[in-house]
Amino acid sequence: MHNDDNPVGAILTRREIIGMAGAAGIAWLGRGASALAASAGCVVRPAQTEGPYFVDQMLERSDLRRDPTDGSLQAGLPLELAIVVTRWAAGACVPLPDAQVDLWHCDLRGVYSGVQDPAFDTTGQKFLRGFQRTDAAGRATFTTIYPGWYPGRTVHIHFKIRSPSTRSPGFEFTSQLYFDDALTDRVFATGLYAARGPRRTRNEDDGIFRRDGSELLLALDRRNDGNAGTFEVALRMT
């Protein structure tokens, strides 16, 4: 039984973020980073739980589909994803270069790599995990697949934005990305996704999604044989 719905650390709502920012000038999330209210080009992004399946493998790569341990390629609908990170400076948001953006999510069977779970053991495997550093425009790009489902959670992708190890003090911001239910229904009606049978949890049935998950929806466009989307996150640094 998956336990990804068990929170690890605090989850702040948008109202809490804005309230704390108004009262203290900054809303602390993790170690020295915060999501900003939507102003001067900044975009509110609530923090959400890391969950139990984060593995800090320090696997730097853009294409997450291949497992470097055996060369196998994960099946699934291709997904091109760009995360654009900015920082608050002098009353405006400017690109944040050299931030480390980690992505991890389950395969189309609902299985994560590199972990032990009552439902599976993928210790040592590294599929659908990795990180990229943001470029001069604050952009990190990934090629992956549309995630599958597992009991208790709606379809989602985990992401973490953190400072290089050489930065002191460091910062860290963790949250999740979600998908429109209608799009997920269309994807899951095709190919290997359909073979798993109908999913059990939709967005509004997911307790974590209900905590401001609507502000973490990833808008996607059709791209060749898959989908593509861009997600913007603004951080206030210490």
Q: What is the per-residue pLDDT across 37-84, written as a single tens digit (0 to 9) for each?
A: 444 457 768 999 999 999 998 999 999 999 999 999 999 999 999 999
Of 113, 119, 123, nearest in space to 64 by CA: 113
Q: How far apart are CA 134 and CA 200, in angstroms?
A: 36
For the domain spanning 14-237, the CATH number is 2.60.130.10
Q: How far apart are CA 199 and CA 174, in angstroms?
A: 26
What's the pTM? 0.85
Of 12, 13, 105, 126, nearest in space to 53 by CA: 105
Mean pLDDT of the chain: 85
Does the pLDDT at position 8 exceed 50?
no
Report angle CA 219, 221, 227 to the nearest 5 degrees: 100
Q: How far apart are CA 236 and CA 190, in angstroms?
A: 41
> Residue 2: its pLDDT value, please?
56
For residue 208, give the amino acid letter: I
Report angle CA 149, 114, 75 to the nearest 5 degrees: 50
- Greater confidence, 175 or 2? 175
User: Which tens digit of pLDDT belongs to each residue from 125-184?
Assistant: 999 999 999 999 999 999 999 999 999 999 999 999 999 877 777 899 999 999 999 999
Are 161 and 99 within 8 A, CB to CB?
yes
Q: How far apart are CA 229 and CA 221, in angstroms?
A: 6
